[in-house]
Chain A
Amino acid sequence: MEGLRLIDFRIDRRSGVATYLQLVNQVKQALRLGLVGPGDRLPTAKDVVARTGINPNTVLKAYRELEREGLVEPRPGLGTFVRRSLATPGVAEDSPLRGDLLEWMDRARQLGMGREDVEALFRAVLDQRF
C-alpha cells in the first residue's frame, strides 16, 4: 500500500512543538493505529513539502529521527520504508476495546458532553491508570 494516502501530515505552527517532532509524532500515531505497517513507504520529502509548505530539511530530519529509533529505513533511490509496527491488538478497527470506547463516547455525547469535556475526563482517568 502507498504510505502517501495513509499519512496526511498536518502542521500546527502555533503549537510550540517543533515541526519535525510533529511529523515524528504523526508517523508514530499512524504506526500505533496500524494505518501504516512494515513495508509501507512514507511520503517523499517533496510530497510532504508540496502539501504542507514546510521545509524539506525538516521532513528529512523527522525521517532521520524515525530511522534512529529503528522504525523506518531509507532505501536509496526508492524512499523511506516502515520497518516495524507499533500497533497493538487493542487498536485494530474491529477490536472489542475500540468498540467499548465508541460506546462510551456515544454515552458521553448523550449526556451532553462536548469534545473538551470528554478529553478532560479521558485524560484524568488515563493519568489515574497509566
Chain B
Amino acid sequence: MSDPGVAVRAEGLGLRRRRGWALRDCSFELPAGSVTALVGANGAGKSTLLKIAAGLLRPSEGAVATRGSVGFVAQDKPLYRGFTVAEMLRFGRVTNAEDWDDTYARQLVGEAALPLSAKVNRLSGGERARLALVLALARRPDVLLLDEPLSEMDPVAREDVLRTLMVAVAETGVTVVLSTHVVSDLDGVCDHLLLLDRGVVQLAGEVEELLDNHRVVLAGRGDLGDHQVILGRGGEHRGTTLVRVTGELDVPEELVSAPGLEELVIAYLRANRGVAA
C-alpha cells in the first residue's frame, strides 16, 4: 500500500457463492491504529469479509490489502481442545518463534485468570475466547481481525477484553477490526464503523463524523424536506425520524437530538429489513 496511514484497504471486493453474492462491491479504507466495529445482521457478510482480509478466502473480484502482519481469531475460536493453557502458549511460541512475545502472553493469561494447567475443553466459552485472543495478541500483529470476540463473554469479561485491546492499541498502534452484535459495548471503544447488509457496505466511516451527519428528529418524515430519511417511526407528520442531514434542518431545535452509536446502527439495520417498529 502506498499511503502509510492506511492499514486496510478494500477495493471492489466481492465473493460469489452458489446462492448469490456473499459480499459485493465492498470498498473502504481503515487508517492505521484505528478500531473498527464491523456490524450487520446474521449473514450480512461480516465473517466472509474478515476471512478474505485474513487471506483465508479468495475473493471472486476486487482485492483487499493489509499493511504488515495480520492476526485473525475466527468465530469458532480454533484451539486444541486436548491441550492445557500452558501447552497452547508453548504451541504459540514454537509456531511463531520470531514474533511471539511470551512475557506479554503470560501477563494476559494472568490478567484473564486462566489457570495454566486447565485443559482447553474444560474452559468456558468465554475463557476459550480470551485464550484465543491472547494467542493472537502475543504475536504482536499489525492488524488484528476478530470475529465476534465478545459473544460468549459475561459483561465483566467483555469490559476486561476491550480494555486489554485498547491498551494494545495505545502501546503498539495495532489496527483492530472486530465484528459484533453488541453495539452498546463499543461506545467509546471503536472510532470507525463498517456496517454491512446482505453483502453490501451500507455505512462506513469515522464514528464521530457519522454521528454528526445524522439527527433524531421528533417529527414525521413529511416534515423533513430533502434530508435523507433513514428510519421513520410514526406517520407523515408525527413520530421519531432518523435522518442523514444535508445542510440545515428546518425543524425547531428542541425537537432535534444527536443519535447514539447504537441508535444509529439499529436504525440502519431496521431500515434495511423494511420493518419500522
Chain A positions within 8 Å of B, measured between CB atoms, are 11, 13, 16, 18-20, 45-46, 49-50, 53-58, 61
Instruction: Give, as a whole number of angstroms, the nearest-CB distance from B219 to chain A.
Output: 19
Instruction: Give, as a whole number of angstroms, the nearest-CB distance from B93 to chain A.
Output: 26
Instruction: Give, as a whole number of angstroms, the nearest-CB distance from A62 to chain B.
Output: 11
Instruction: Give, as a whole number of angstroms, the nearest-CB distance from A91 to chain B.
Output: 29
- Establish whether residues A57 and B33, one from each chain, have CB atoms under 8 Å apart when the complex forms: yes
| Interface range for B | 20 to 34
- Establish whether residues A57 and B167, one from each chain, have CB atoms under 8 Å apart when the complex forms: no
CA A115 to CA B44, docked complex, whole Å: 48
- Establish whether residues A56 and B260, one from each chain, have CB atoms under 8 Å apart when the complex forms: no
Enumerate chain A residues within 8 angstroms of B188, measured Cβ to Cβ: 11, 13, 19, 53-55, 58
Q: Given that A13-B188, A16-B258 are contacting pairs, would A56 and B163 also be in contact in the complex, using a CB cutoff of 8 Å?
A: no
- Establish whether residues A54 and B166, one from each chain, have CB atoms under 8 Å apart when the complex forms: yes
User: In the complex, what residue of chain A is closest to B257 when comparing beta carbons?
Assistant: A16
Enumerate chain B residues within 8 angstroms of A20, measured Cβ to Cβ: 208
Q: Does B187 contact A (CB under 8 A)?
A: yes
CA A79 to CA B12, docked complex, whole Å: 41
Q: Given that A13-B187, A16-B260, A55-B190 are contacting pairs, would A49 and B34 also be in contact in the complex, using a CB cutoff of 8 Å?
A: no
Number of A-B contacts (CB under 8 A): 51
Chain A interface, DSSP helix/strand/loop, else mixed: helix
Q: Does B79 contact A (CB under 8 A)?
A: no
Chain B positions within 8 Å of A, measured between CB atoms, are 33-35, 159, 162-163, 166-167, 169-171, 184, 187-191, 208, 211, 257-258, 260
CA A10 to CA B93, docked complex, whole Å: 38
- Establish whether residues B211 and A18, one from each chain, have CB atoms under 8 Å apart when the complex forms: yes
User: In the complex, what residue of chain A is closest to B35 when comparing beta carbons?
Assistant: A55
User: In the complex, what residue of chain A is closest to B191 when comparing beta carbons?
Assistant: A57
- Establish whether residues A53 and B208, one from each chain, have CB atoms under 8 Å apart when the complex forms: no
CA A10 to CA B159, docked complex, whole Å: 15
Enumerate chain B residues within 8 angstroms of A50, measured Cβ to Cβ: 163, 167, 170
User: In the complex, what residue of chain A is closest to B160 when comparing beta carbons?
Assistant: A53
CA A104 to CA B35, docked complex, whole Å: 48
- Establish whether residues B191 and A58, one from each chain, have CB atoms under 8 Å apart when the complex forms: yes
26 A–B pairs (Cβ distance < 8 Å), ordered by A: A13-B188, A16-B257, A19-B187, A19-B188, A46-B167, A46-B170, A46-B171, A49-B163, A49-B166, A49-B169, A50-B163, A50-B170, A53-B162, A53-B166, A53-B188, A54-B166, A54-B189, A55-B166, A55-B188, A55-B190, A55-B191, A56-B170, A57-B33, A57-B35, A58-B188, A58-B191
- Establish whether residues A45 and B170, one from each chain, have CB atoms under 8 Å apart when the complex forms: yes
User: In the complex, what residue of chain A is closest to B171 when comparing beta carbons?
Assistant: A46
Enumerate chain B residues within 8 angstroms of A57, measured Cβ to Cβ: 33-35, 169, 191
Enumerate chain B residues within 8 angstroms of A55, measured Cβ to Cβ: 35, 166, 169, 188-191
- Establish whether residues A49 and B191, one from each chain, have CB atoms under 8 Å apart when the complex forms: no
Q: Which of A13, A16, A19, A56 contacts B169 (CB 8 A)?
A: A56
Q: Which of B35, B169, B190, B208 contacts A18 (CB 8 A)?
A: B208
CA A83 to CA B162, docked complex, whole Å: 33
- Establish whether residues A56 and B166, one from each chain, have CB atoms under 8 Å apart when the complex forms: yes
CA A46 to CA B173, docked complex, whole Å: 11
User: In the complex, what residue of chain A is closest to B260 when comparing beta carbons?
Assistant: A16
CA A61 to CA B191, docked complex, whole Å: 11
CA A46 to CA B188, docked complex, whole Å: 15
Enumerate chain B residues within 8 angstroms of A58, measured Cβ to Cβ: 188, 191
CA A105 to CA B170, docked complex, whole Å: 42
User: In the complex, what residue of chain B is closest to A12 when comparing beta carbons?
Assistant: B188
User: In the complex, what residue of chain A is closest to B34 when comparing beta carbons?
Assistant: A57
CA A18 to CA B188, docked complex, whole Å: 8
